[in-house]
Amino acid sequence: GAVVSQHPSWVICKSGTSVKIECRSLDFQATTMFWYRQFPKQSLMLMATSNEGSKATYEQGVEKDKFLINHASLTLSTLTVTSAHPEDSSFYICSAPPRTTLNNEQFFGPGTRLTVL
């Protein structure tokens, strides 16, 4: 099956610093990738849709200047949390539907645990 990787798997940073999270589709191309965040014991909330070659689409209430998304290629999307604060601590998960499929199936990365001190 299709594999999506994320790097790093966990990161601890100081308040005010920026953190970059990578999402890669390892064996397929994805023109679209999705970024979710998940707080402890809660569901996944879609943050934004990353589009290769164009601007990301953000969900209502998500600050686009704080969560910068760059879809650099058909296999890589990055999420940069700028000027991170403790309330940004969360589990960030990306997903990608293979561009050759129209059945809406998405493959998820293993997630990145961000802790802001």
Stretch of residues binding another protein (CB under 8 A), selected from 14-22, 72-80, 81-89, 109-117: 109-117
Instruction: Write a three-state SS string for 60-111.
Output: CCCCCCCEEEEEEECCEEEEEECCCCHHHCEEEEEEECCCCCCCCCCEECCC
Q: What is the DSSP letter of 113?
A: E
Stretch of residues binding another protein (CB under 8 A), selected from 14-22, 45-53, 68-76, 79-87: 45-53
Which of 25, 32, 89, 90 touches another protein by CB under 8 A?
32
CB of 115 to another protein, least distance (A): 12
φ, ψ for residue 97, nearest 5 deg:
-95, 130
CB of 83 to another protein, least distance (A): 26
